[in-house]
């Protein structure tokens, strides 16, 4: 059997088994170049219980199967880097073992077994940056991104509030008629969730056991270097002088009159209350005071 026939036979078998779950891309000469398949854990067809997936891409060099194919794992969902690295190592072993024989179906099975074993998202929640522990309530979006219910609810409530505030600022004819559409924080795909249901969940477990913050020696050194740079640039006239620039622009500087100041009832964010006068001798304090208004003012 010629090489091409061997590959052809393997691909036909794959198509017969996997049907629509596999796609084969041919080059101009009609030779198969790339085989793609998105793999899910086996959960007896219960799609809502599949928490992870990955797309396998197998590139077939000319002398495959007498050499190893080139493997890429794309769009891993619910899998962290170390899990993906582990998969790559397993795949490489399998390919080594199967030189001279059809390997693609073996790879798909290998990946599926691995996904089935670790069918719990090992990634972090993109909102709080902590992982998912036993007992945490979490949501898998239709786009396969993971959030603690608690975190996702916060996101949805705030974005919906912002949406309505922005709409109210617009003249009636410019307002959207479609209403608020929730989107995934990671990929901005539209998502649909029940906020009331989500918000009743408890905060993620890992949050409670997280370490406290401490200023390390390394940080101190970095701070000192930054301070030196600041002083040097200031001596060269390279630092923006907020007051002088404001006078040039004739801006009104009384922030309590500023209607765009969304935090007017809460001075906390714009004025770091625990910085005392003179603790930053370089004028940063002054800049910080104006800061909130500056960024809101556009």
Among 126, 137, 182, 195, binds another protein (CB under 8 A): 126
Among 45, 46, 125, 44, smallest CA distance to 78 is for 125
Separation of first and last alpha carbons in the chain: 71
Rounded to a whole number of angstroms, the minimum distance from the CB of residue 87 to another protein is 22
Whole-angstrom distance, CA of residue 217 vs CA of residue 220: 5
40 backbone dihedrals φ, ψ, rounded to 5°: -120, 160
Asked if 254 touches another protein (CB under 8 A), the answer is no
Residue 265 as a binder of another protein (CB under 8 A): the answer is: no
CB of 200 to another protein, least distance (A): 19
Which of residues 82 and 273 has its CB atom nearest to another protein in the complex?
A: 273
Q: Does 277 participate in binding another protein (rule CB under 8 A)?
A: no
The correct pick among 4, 245, 247, 260 for binding another protein (CB under 8 A) is 245
For residues 213, 215, 217 and 220, what is the CA-based torsion angle, rounded to 10 degrees? 150
Q: Tell me which of 166, 189, 194, 197 binds another protein, using CB under 8 A.
A: 166
Which is nearer to another protein, 27 or 176 (by Cβ)? 176
Does 182 bind another protein (CB under 8 A)? Our answer is no
Give the contacts of 73 (CB within 8 A, at least 6 positions apart).
54, 55, 56, 57, 84, 87, 88, 91, 111
Least distance to another protein, CB of residue 176, Å: 13
Backbone angles phi, psi at 78, to 5 degrees: 75, 5
Residue 186 lies near another protein (rule: CB under 8 A): yes
| 212 near another protein (CB under 8 A) | yes
- Is residue 67 within 8 A of residue 80, CB to CB? The reply is no
Helix axes 284-296, 242-249, angle to 10 degrees: 40
Written as six digits, the tokens of 5 are 């026939």
Nearest-approach distance from CB 73 to another protein, in angstroms: 22
Q: Contact positions toward another protein, by CB under 8 A? A: 126-130, 151, 154-155, 158, 166, 185-186, 188, 207, 210-213, 215-216, 218-219, 222-223, 226, 229-230, 232-233, 236-240, 242, 245-246, 248-249, 263, 266, 268-270, 272-276, 279-280, 284, 287-288, 291-292, 294-295, 297-298
């Amino acid at each position: 059997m010629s090489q091409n026939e061997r590959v052809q036979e393997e691909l036909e078998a794959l198509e017969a088994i996997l049907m629509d779950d596999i796609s084969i891309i041919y080059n101009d000469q009609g030779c198969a170049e790339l085989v793609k398949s998105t793999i899910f854990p086996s959960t007896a067809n219960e799609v809502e219980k599949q928490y992870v997936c990955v797309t396998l891409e197998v590139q077939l060099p000319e002398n495959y199967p007498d050499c190893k194919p080139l493997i890429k794992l794309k769009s891993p969902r619910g899998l962290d880097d170390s899990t993906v690295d582990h998969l790559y190592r397993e795949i490489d072993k399998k390919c080594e073992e199967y030189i001279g024989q059809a390997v693609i179906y073996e790879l798909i099975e290998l990946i599926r077994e691995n996904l089935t074993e670790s069918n719990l998202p090992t990634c972090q929640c993109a909102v709080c940056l902590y992982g998912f522990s036993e007992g945490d309530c979490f949501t898998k979006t239709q786009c396969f991104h993971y959030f603690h219910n608690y975190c996702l609810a916060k996101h949805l409530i705030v974005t919906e509030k912002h949406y309505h505030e922005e709409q109210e600022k617009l003249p009636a004819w410019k307002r959207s008629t479609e209403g608020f559409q929730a989107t995934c924080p990671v990929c901005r795909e539209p998502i649909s969730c029940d906020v009331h249901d989500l918000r009743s969940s408890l905060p993620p477990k890992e949050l409670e056991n997280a370490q406290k913050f401490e200023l390390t020696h390394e940080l101190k050194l970095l701070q000192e270097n930054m301070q030196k740079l600041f002083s040097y640039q200031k001596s060269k006239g390279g630092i923006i002088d907020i007051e002088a620039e404001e006078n040039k622009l004739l801006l009104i500087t009384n922030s309590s009159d500023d209607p765009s100041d969304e935090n007017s009832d809460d001075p906390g964010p714009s004025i770091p209350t625990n910085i005392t006068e003179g603790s930053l001798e370089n004028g940063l304090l002054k800049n910080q005071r104006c800061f909130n208004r500056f960024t809101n003012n556009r």
